[in-house]
Amino acid sequence: MSKVKRVYTFGNKQAEGKADMKNLLGGKGANLAEMNLIGVPVPPGFTITTEVCTEYNQLGKEKVIELIRDEVEKAIVNVERLMKSKFGDSENPCLVSVRSGARASMPGMMDTILNLGLNDEVVEGLAKKTGNPRFAWDSYRRFIQMYGDVVMGLKPESKEAQDPFEEIIDEVKAEKGVENDTDLTRDDLKELVSRFKSAVKEQTGQDFPTDAWEQLWGAVAAVFDSWNNPRADYYRKLNNIPEEWGTAVNVQAMVFGNMGDTSGTGVAFTRDAATGENLFNGEYLINAQGEDVVAGIRTPRQITKEGSERWAVLAQVSEEKRLADYPSLEEQMPEIYRELFDTQRKLETHYRDMQDLEFTIQEGKLWLLQTRNGKRTGASMVKIAIDLLEEGMIDEETALLRIEPNKLDELLHPVFDMEAIQQARVLAKGLPASPGAATGQIVFFADEAEEWVGTGKQVVLVRVETSPEDLRGMNVAKGILTARGGMTSHAAVVARGMGKCCVSGAGKLKIDYKARTMTVDGQVFKEGDWISLNGSTGEVYEGKIATMDPSLSGDFGKLMDLADKHTRMSVRTNADTPKDSKVARNFGARGIGLCRTEHMFFEGDRITAMREMILAADEKGRRKALEKLLPIQREDFEGIFEAMHDLPVTIRLLDPPLHEFVPHEEENQQEMARDMGITVEEIRAKVEELHEFNPMLGHRGCRLGITYPEISEMQARAIIEAALNLKKKGIRTLPEIMIPLIGTHQEFKIQEDIIRNTAEKVFEERGDRIEYLVGTMIEIPRAALTADKIAERAEFFSFGTNDLTQMGFGYSRDDSGKFLPVYINKGILKYDPFQVLDQEGIGQLVEMGTKKGRSTRPDLKVGICGEHGGEPSSVEFCHRVGMNYVSCSPYRVPIARIAAAQAAIKDKQ
């Protein structure tokens, strides 16, 4: 047996791993290896696999160190050889970074430590070796800061409190009377190191470790631990990343962006992550390291000249000041810029997707530290997919598979009403970090954003800058506003990933966390005040602003056409009104898969007629009341048929139990008695009579039509008459009459007979006919089990997976809120089965129902109309079992169309 390989090395254009080994090496590790293989300059290092993370969680730190010690020691020797220096040596030291990196990128969620290998002696050696003591001490203080936080756990004491290290930095800066970190001298930095170490000792009771190997093992363990920190855990849940995956650890020789004016660090995107525009862009800082650019501590500069000029306009910086204080990399270091430009082209062409890269310049030499497929907004996702297709970089199938269906949702979100926005007052301008329109009440803390939203409020999260700790608050806020940070700041990147409106770096804002105020030009805004953000322009407005529906771009249309070209299933919509029908049709719905009729009994004075029917003593009385409802229903159907002309419309007969139509409160009962001229007692008696212990399993669905056939008769008549009326006007209709809650084929037969007899009667009366189908909803497990018999007569099936899930699991949907979250937390269920179809269990009922139905009637039309019809993984399942269509709410139609096309493509591959 060959030994398990746990460590993969890379460096000097060679690597043991490659890009498609993400599962084992994590995204970062796999791409570091791949960049070596394609000749991009990357500092040498090695990756400890994600499998070791799993072992770590089972065996603990000590045992795992023993498992990997040999391989790690050898890998370090390899790094030393390539760097011509020695790890832990005080004359010629080799420093490393220790970086997390999961399969799926989780930016900033886990921990990274830089400059590892330093202590009081090594720092002197580094100073001597480089001839740059300031740099050596700057690196040392950064190391203590990161290690002290991540490994030793020295963190802010409360949410209002400052980071303890930043507090010390501010202290020293104040004492020395300097403003920027870069103005601190070597002696100041030395002072910082000493105060940092005292703080660590004081608060953790531990000495700062001086041995390089001890430091390394501590850091490796901390990175493994960070896989389970609360923010990583939350991010995983948000993005459906399995807990079992684990993170890899990358150990890599340091290159230094903090060596002076010919050094720097930056972040870049090969295309615009917000809009998708094919424009190289990014930010950098001179004499800086690691996360300085994204942390929002200094104002970053733009990489390209064009980007810099655009930024200056937004930031209201004059051209003179821009050139003096914020020149682009293109202007400042033209040669490096050229090389970076060529490298980003090379990487995009290699990966055939927009790349998000991290680089460092050490004394005029460029190094790449990371590349990955960049996070992007929904709009950018669509544009980039279509552009790459048109540029011939990818084929149609790949373009479609690049779309995350759920992200299309963002494109359908409201934008500001043009007129309202012209009346509004602009308070400040920041950077357009993530597009969209947001209106909400100001909150300053992430946990409070969650609380406020929990009580039904809508909020804008306002922060000096955001950190990964703020994720939950960002997720629930309508928008995010920060005073500091650029287009690549944490807030900006995360917001774009979430498709959330964000304005970053609005420098005019003075935010006081303790007082919970935001001050702009002397005007004070308190927690709870309303503001609005335009994430596409960077404008911040006072007050609430009205919104409207967005218009969709040409690329969106192209994408949808492409989806239709590759799909097999069609997508219908669940719609009960002409308005919804039109919206859905505009989004490409090919008919209605579920038109519920109950609301037709509720609105306005219809409820009175309905109640009359319910209270009637006998069939004659009921028929009289139903007479009143007939013309109203007919008119409703005409409206819907007209909106969906030439496309099928599935109408479900009345489903809910009758008690839902009578009032249960004393007050309303009295009002009803007055209206109907009867006594309250009569009403109360009826309500009592209708009372059920389990209404969901009670007198509803076809059971109503069986006990009161005249209801089904009236509805069938309304449908057929409406269709005939439209035919007269030259409008073609395709009604599909659907009988709900069938459990036995006898139920179906009884209802079908009523419908067909009624239709024949109407055809005779009118001397004209139309085509129509009669089918059923499959939502009771017994119906799925006996589908072959039901299909003897039913012309179509529509799986009502809401009820099928409810009855298959035996979970009351309305009560499941009490236990489902616990089930999901404990891992008993992966998802809420009312949102994501349970393919393992309920899916069997769907598959069996379809097969059995088609065994009797090979051309049986089959669809789904539960909530699952708009959920991508469930849509894929529907494709696999051979459904003809899925049906979902109007705004999810585009999502389902993409999911259906993706299912067809994956099926072929």
Q: Annotated catalytic sites, by residue?
A: 490, 865
Residue of 80, 803, 838, 867 that binds Mg ion (CB under 5 A)? 803
Residue 97 near which of ligand ADP, Mg ion, none (CB within 5-8 Å, type-dependent)? ligand ADP
Q: Within positions 350 to 379, which residues make up the interface with ligand ADP, using CB under 6 A? A: 358, 360, 369-370
Residue 255 near which of ligand ADP, Mg ion, none (CB within 5-8 Å, type-dependent)? ligand ADP
The C-alpha atoms of residue 513 and residue 372 are separated, in whole angstroms, by 35
Residue 114 near which of ligand ADP, Mg ion, none (CB within 5-8 Å, type-dependent)? ligand ADP
Residue 800 near which of Mg ion, ligand ADP, none (CB within 5-8 Å, type-dependent)? Mg ion
Residue 803 near which of ligand ADP, Mg ion, none (CB within 5-8 Å, type-dependent)? Mg ion
Least Cβ distance, residue 294 to ligand ADP (angstroms): 8
Residue of 85, 97, 270, 287 that binds ligand ADP (CB under 6 A)? 97
Are 189 and 93 contacting, i.e. CB atoms less than 8 angstroms apart?
A: no
Least Cβ distance, residue 286 to ligand ADP (angstroms): 14
Least Cβ distance, residue 141 to ligand ADP (angstroms): 16
First to last CA, the chain: 35
The residue range among 267-275, 764-772, 779-787, 898-906 that interacts with Mg ion, by the rule CB under 5 A, is 779-787
Residue 360 near which of Mg ion, ligand ADP, none (CB within 5-8 Å, type-dependent)? ligand ADP
The C-alpha atoms of residue 176 and residue 186 are separated, in whole angstroms, by 12
Residue 466 near which of Mg ion, ligand ADP, none (CB within 5-8 Å, type-dependent)? none
Least Cβ distance, residue 226 to ligand ADP (angstroms): 10
Residue of 99, 195, 375, 652 that binds ligand ADP (CB under 6 A)? 99
Are 33 and 18 contacting, i.e. CB atoms less than 8 angstroms apart?
A: yes
The C-alpha atoms of residue 90 and residue 106 are separated, in whole angstroms, by 35
The C-alpha atoms of residue 833 and residue 420 are separated, in whole angstroms, by 41
Strand-pair category, 264-269 with 355-362: antiparallel
Residue of 328, 370, 475, 798 that binds Mg ion (CB under 5 A)? 370
Are 724 and 766 contacting, i.e. CB atoms less than 8 angstroms apart?
A: yes
Question: Cα 144 from chain centroid?
Answer: 35
Least Cβ distance, residue 434 to Mg ion (angstroms): 19
Buried/exposed code over 431-461 (b: 16+ C-beta within 10 A; e: otherwise) = bbbbbbbbbbbbbbbbebbbebbeeeebbbb
The C-alpha atoms of residue 115 and residue 144 are separated, in whole angstroms, by 9
Residue of 27, 93, 108, 894 that binds ligand ADP (CB under 6 A)? 108
The residue range among 252-260, 425-433, 531-539, 839-847 that interacts with ligand ADP, by the rule CB under 6 A, is 252-260
254 is a site residue for ligand ADP (CB under 6 A): yes
Mutual angle of helices 212-226 and 50-59, in 10-degree steps: 90
User: DSSP state, 708?
Assistant: -
Are 517 and 525 contacting, i.e. CB atoms less than 8 angstroms apart?
A: yes
Output the residue with the shortest Cβ distance to Mg ion.
803
Site size toward Mg ion, by CB under 5 A: 4
Residue 369 near which of Mg ion, ligand ADP, none (CB within 5-8 Å, type-dependent)? ligand ADP
The C-alpha atoms of residue 739 and residue 779 are separated, in whole angstroms, by 11
Listed in sequence order, the DSSP H helices in 702-744 are: 702-707, 709-728
139 is a site residue for ligand ADP (CB under 6 A): no
Can you tell me which residue has the tokens 């995350």?
Answer: 404
The residue range among 325-333, 452-460, 598-606, 794-802 that interacts with Mg ion, by the rule CB under 5 A, is 794-802
Q: Within positions 283 to 312, which residues make up the interface with ligand ADP, using CB under 6 A? A: 290-291
Least Cβ distance, residue 838 to ligand ADP (angstroms): 34
Instruction: Report residue 153: phi and psi, to 5°.
Output: 80, 30
User: DSSP state, 298?
Assistant: S
868 is a site residue for ligand ADP (CB under 6 A): no
State whether the Cα torsion 64-68-70-72 is positive or negative: negative
The residue range among 100-108, 324-332, 564-572, 817-825 that interacts with ligand ADP, by the rule CB under 6 A, is 100-108
**CA–CA distances in Å: residue 201 to residues 114, 197, 198, 540, 584:** 20, 6, 5, 44, 64
Residue of 11, 17, 43, 276 that binds ligand ADP (CB under 6 A)? 43
Are 326 and 301 contacting, i.e. CB atoms less than 8 angstroms apart?
A: yes
Measured from the CB atom, the residue of 220 and 783 that comes closer to ligand ADP is 220
Strand-pair category, 96-102 with 112-116: antiparallel
Are 100 and 249 contacting, i.e. CB atoms less than 8 angstroms apart?
A: yes
Measured from the CB atom, the residue of 191 and 779 that comes closer to Mg ion is 779
**CA–CA distances in Å: residue 261 to residues 135, 266, 276:** 11, 14, 33
| Residues lying near Mg ion in the complex (CB under 5 A) | 370, 779, 800, 803
Interaction site with ligand ADP (CB under 6 A): 43, 97, 99-100, 107-108, 112, 114, 252-255, 265, 290-291, 358, 360, 369-370
